[in-house]
Structure 1
Amino acid sequence: MRIALGIEYDGTDFSGWQRLSHRPSVQGALEKALSSVAAQPVEVTCAGRTDAGVHGRCQVVHFDTEVQRDPRGWVLGTCANLPTAVAVLWAMPVADAFHARFSARSRRYCYRILNRPVRAALDARYVTWERQPLDAERMHEAAQVLRGEHDFTAFRAIACQAAHARREVLAVSVRREDEQVSIEIEANAFLHHMVRNIVGSLLPIGRGEREPGWLAQLLAGRNREVAGPTAPASGLTFIGPRYEPHWGLPAAVTA
Structure 2
Amino acid sequence: MKRVKLVVAYDGTAYHGWQVQPNGRTIEGELNRALSELLQEEIQVIGASRTDSGVHALCNVAVFDTQARIPAEKICYAVNQRLPEDIRVRESCEVAPDFHPRHCSSRKTYEYRIYQDTFPEPVRRLYTYFTYVPLDLDRMREGAAYLVGEHDFKSFCSVAAVVETTVRTILSITIKRQGKEIVISVCGTGFLYNMVRIIAGTLMEVGRGSYPPEHVREILEAKDRQAAGPTAPACGLTLVKYEWTGQDENRSDS
Query: Is TM (by shorter chain) over 0.5?
Result: yes
- Corresponding residue number in structure 2 for 1:243: 244
Map 1:61-76; keep pairs closer than 5 Å.
Answer: 61-76=62-77
2:230 match = 229
How many pairs were matched up? 249
Greater mean alpha carbon deviation, residues 131-140 or residues 84-93? 131-140
> Matches of 1:104 and 1:129 in 2, distance apart?
35
Distance 1:124 1:102 in 2: 35
- In the alignment, is the contact (CA less than 8 A) between 1:200 and 1:229 conserved in 2? yes
Q: Tell me by how many angstroms 1:222 deviates.
A: 1.3
Give yes or no for contact 2:96–2:250 (8 Å, CA) kept in 1: no
Q: Which residue is 1:219 aligned to? A: 220
TM-score by length of 2: 0.94
Of 231-240 and 64-73, deviating more is 64-73
Report Cα offsets for 1:97-126 as digits up to 9, x if no partner: 321111142222110000111102111110
- What is the 5 A alignment of 1:80-119? 80-119=81-120
Q: Tell me which residue corresponds to 2:126.
A: 125
The whole-number CA distance in structure 1 between the counterparts of 2:95 and 2:24 is 31
CA RMSD of aligned residues (A): 1.3
Query: Which residue number in structure 1 is paired with residue 182 of structure 2?
Result: 181
1:208 CA displacement: 2.1
What is the DSSP-based 3-state SS (H/G/I as helix, E as strand, rest coil) of the residue aligned with 2:171?
A: strand
Q: Hey, what does 2:211 align to over in structure 1?
A: 210
Stretch deviating more after TM superposition (71-80 or 19-28): 71-80
Shift of 1:144: 1.0
Equivalent in the alignment of 2:165: 164
Contact 1:47 1:61 in 2 (8 A): yes
Distance 2:117 2:72 in 1: 44
The match for 2:27 is 26
C-alpha distance in structure 1 between counterparts of 2:169 and 2:76, whole Å:
34
Identity percentage of aligned residues = 33
What is the aligned partner in structure 2 of residue 192 from structure 1?
193
**1:161-187 C-alpha deviation (Å, 9 max, x unpaired):** 111110011111111112111111111
Contact 1:199–1:231 (CA under 8 A) maintained in structure 2:
yes
Contact 1:47 1:104 survives alignment (8 Å) = no
Which residue does the alignment assign to 1:252? Answer: none
2:16 alignment partner in structure 1:
15
Q: Which moved more, 1:68-77 or 1:151-160?
A: 68-77
How far the C-alpha of 1:57 sits from its partner, in A, is: 1.0
Cα deviation, 1:137-180, whole Å, max 9, x if unaligned, reads 22112101111111111111010111111001111111111211
For 1:58 and 1:24, the matched residues in 2 are separated by 20
Following superposition, the deviation at residue 213 of structure 1 comes to 0.7
Task: Look up the SS of the partner of 1:198 in the other structure.
Answer: helix
User: What amino acid sits opposite 1:189 in the alignment?
Assistant: G
- Cα drift, residue 248 of structure 1: 6.2
- What is the match of residue 4 of structure 2? 3
The letter for the 1-side match of 2:62 is: V
